[in-house]
Amino acid sequence: MKYDIVYSVTAHESIECVYNLYENIVKYNPGLDVLVIFHLNEDLYSRLDAIPKADNLIFNPVRTDKRRFTQSLLWAHLGNFVIVRDLDFDIFALLASNCMFVRQVDYGLIGSGSPGMSPAPHELEQEGSVNFDDIKHEWFWSVYLQCPGIQKLFEAKRIGVNARCHEGAYIRKEVMQAIMDFCQTHIIRKIQLIDGLDWIEILFPSLEKYFTGRIGARYCKHFPFVREIRREEILEIAGGEGDYNIVKRVARDMKNEIRRFICTLP
C-alpha cells in the first residue's frame, strides 16, 4: 500500500490520549492515506490492549523514556523511521503527544513546503571555518559549544547550524533517509550529545537545509508553557490563521477542557 504521509509520534503519559491523537490525525487528513506510528515508553506499551486496533496504527516495539532537552526525541523519531522506511510513502511528519490538529491538512501546501533532495549538499558559502557570528545570540548556542564533536563534524562537512521546532515538520522520505544515513554514519556511537538541548531541533533542520537547500515549513503553532491555550486562539487557527493546522501543548488528559473542545471541532 502507498501512504501519502507517515505520522511519527512520541508519547509517554496517557494511553487514552494516544488513541485520541490517532483519531484526531485521521479526522484532519481526509482523503489521504496516512499511517501513524507511536514511540511509547514501557508503561504505555504495557497497556496497548486498552485501545482499539487499526490497520494504519502501529507501535515501535522499542520502548524508551523520552525527555525534553536531551537526544531521546531524536533517536525515537529516527527509530520510527527505521520501522517504516521500507514502506511506500511520500512524507514523514513529526508530532508530539501534546499536539492536536484543529484544521484539515492541505496536501498541496504540504508538498510545496517540503523541499526535495538537491543534486549536491548545500555547503556553507564562506571559506575556512564556519562563521557563527550571526547565531551566537540563539538560545541553543551555549549548549552547542559544549559539544565539540558536533562542531567539528559540521565544520568538516561545512554544514550551517539551524534550529527549528520539530513538531509540524513534514519531511520527504528521501530527505529523511539522507538524514538517517548521515546520523548512522557520523553520529551514532561516535559523538556524545550532551543534555540541555533538544538535538532533534538542531540536527533535523541543519541537515534538511544541507541536503535540500532550505528548511521546510513547520505547521504547528506553539503556545507558551506558562498557560493553557485559549479557545479563541484555537478558533483563529481553525479558521485560517496562517498555514498552521496543529496546535501544541494540549494537556494529555481526556478530561482537559481544551482537549475536549478540540474534539468537538468540525
Task: Give tens-digit pLDDT for 149-206.
Answer: 998 999 899 998 888 899 999 999 999 999 999 999 999 888 888 888 889 999 999 9
Residue 131's pLDDT is: 46
- How many Cα atoms are found within 13 Å in the side-chain-facing hemisphere of 145? 8
CA gyration radius for the chain?
Answer: 18
CB atoms within 10 A of CB 132: 16
The per-type count for the chain, helices as H runs and strands as E runs, is 10, 8
CA distances from 218 to 66, 113, 245 (A): 22, 8, 10
Q: Indicate the domain borders of the chain.
A: 2-112+130-264
C-alpha grid cell, residue 195 = 543534555
CB atoms within 10 A of CB 149: 14
Cα gap 57→53, rounded to integer Å = 7
Taking every pair of C-alpha atoms in the chain, what is the biggest distance, in angstroms?
57
CATH number of 2-112+130-264: 3.90.550.10
pTM of the model: 0.93
Q: Tell me which of 188 and 14 has the higher pLDDT.
A: 14
Contact 89, 29 (CB under 8 A): no
